[in-house]
Structure 1
Amino acid sequence: MTRFVMVAGAWLGAWAWDEVAAGLRAAGHEARPLTLSGLAERRSTPAGQQTHVQDVVDEVERLGPGDVVLVGHSYAGIPVGQAAALIGGRLRRVVFVDAAVPVDGESFLAGWPSDHVRRAVEANEGFWPPSGADEYAGQGLTDGQIAAIVAGATPHPGATLTEPAVLDRPLAGLPATYVKCLLDGDEPPAAAAGPLRSGRWELVTMDTGHWPMFSRPRELARILHEAAATR
């Protein structure tokens, strides 16, 4: 049995992993979806990026000794990657699901055209408002899945997007899997390129969009199960 701590991307909470968690539990694993501070049922809790890093570290510490796989989707790759660097050898593996990969001193918004996000945060009292249904088109989602995402999404605390990551060790030294969802582009982000050449990271592709926990939950659960067995 492996314990999975799973963190979804911007606007989403632990609920986003319901179907993936069910698949992992059916395979005999313990699945622990985590809602970050400032989101979903924790939306009243103030949060900066290091708050989110600590959320992840605290959840792993609560589990105590044993095999843990950390999973970060989209934005959550930033705090999950930093938490993984802090936890180090206590982790079995880190899985980045179509995720951002942290770079020391850079924010989530660095390196891509994100001025529209900064303007949206400024105009919405420090929060990034969720996307509407139209933004999910072309990502392999059914109308019902899109409706569920839109209904469950909550504004994302803007400070977590703009504050710089803090890394005291290279992520290339950690065992990791990068899951690239091909409907959202063919290549992982530039920050993953070096680690993927390190020999300790593996690349897995999915023929679906950026939200595979909704569009392909069984396939994603299988990939996570296989990642846990990779040494």
Structure 2
Amino acid sequence: MNAHTSTYVLVPGAWHGGWSWRPVAERLRAAGHRAFCLTLPGLADGDDPTGLGLNDAVDHVVSEVERLGLSDVTLVGHSWGGYPIAGAAHHLSSKVAKVVYYAAQIPIRGRSMLEDNPPEAAAMLQELIDASPNGAISPTLQFVQDIFMQNVDEQSQRLIADLLTPQPGGYFTDSLDVPSLIEMGIPSLYIIGEDDRALPRSGSEFAARVGVEPILVPGTHEGMLTHPDEIATAILKG
């Protein structure tokens, strides 16, 4: 390991597992760095999502960094994964060198993801949570085709829809009570796909929450799968 080796901990978004970051992780490793792809509680194949809350996701990121003995870490989060990495950065502040948000939602202290969404979207998600016997939101092919991965070949869309797992509702309804990255003095980077249509706010608005300008890359909300070269390059240059 040389002096310029960095350590990346990649956290997936809602419905996704660590598999979604593997193409980017392989490119980071090829560039001489270490990369760890996490799968959060409730989102591995066969997991029970019942009763899980945001703190469970935050605690998992923290415990994995500590278990692996990592330091000088760059936390990278996709989509909803912006929430657990923000919470983990607070608990791991002495071990975190940077936080990278890719097509991510950046939390506001005391506001849940549902509360930060437009009212109609929040109401729809809450209805799905309330209607579920285990309080989780199941993925659908239509969601992938219309929001996550539009204008991509149908075979790829179906493959991703089959890989997604139900999202624990508590991950959306819980909030964080931690300072912002700006308050903690942790550098950050915000990357957004040019054709992303999944976020409830613009990339510029989210990036402004951590005091940076967004970096545009090709692709939809699933660009880490369709454009891993460009995502990896943006992370490394940042």
Q: Offset of 1:218 from its aligned partner?
A: 1.3
Q: How has the CA–CA distance of structure 1 residues 191 and 202 changed in structure 2, closer, same or farther, with 3 Å as cutoff?
A: closer
User: Cα distance, 1:133 vs. partner?
Assistant: 3.9
Aligned to 1:220: 231
Q: Which residue number in structure 1 is paired with residue 24 of structure 2? A: 20
1:188 maps to what in 2? 203
Identity of aligned residues (%): 34
| Structure 1 segments unaligned to the other structure (5+ residues) | none
Give the C-alpha shift of residue 205 in structure 1: 1.0
Following superposition, the deviation at residue 184 of structure 1 comes to: 2.1
One-letter code of the match for 2:194?
A: L
- The aligned runs of 1:1-231 (5 Å cut-off) are 1-41=5-45, 43-44=47-48, 46-113=51-118, 114-125=122-133, 126-133=135-142, 135-137=144-146, 139=150, 141-167=152-178, 169-172=179-182, 173-184=185-196, 187-188=202-203, 190-196=205-211, 201-227=212-238
Confirm or deny: 8 A CA contact 1:95 1:178 kept in the other structure.
yes
Letter in structure 1 aligned against 2:127: R
Aligned length: 222
Structure 1 runs of 4+ with >3 Å offset: 137-142, 189-192
Q: Mark the CA change 1:67 to 1:42 in structure 2 (over 3 Å): closer, same or farther.
A: farther
**Which runs of 5 or more residues in structure 2 are unaligned?**
none
Distance 2:115 2:37 in 1: 27
Task: Give the Cα separation in 2 of the matches to 1:40 and 1:160.
Answer: 15
TM-score, normalised to structure 2's length? Answer: 0.85
Measure, in 2, the Cα distance between the counterparts of 1:208 and 1:110: 27
The Cα offsets for residues 19-42 of structure 1, whole Å up to 9 and x where unpaired, read as 111111111111110000011236
RMSD of aligned residue pairs (Cα, Å): 2.0
2-side partners of 1:53 and 1:72: how far apart? Answer: 12
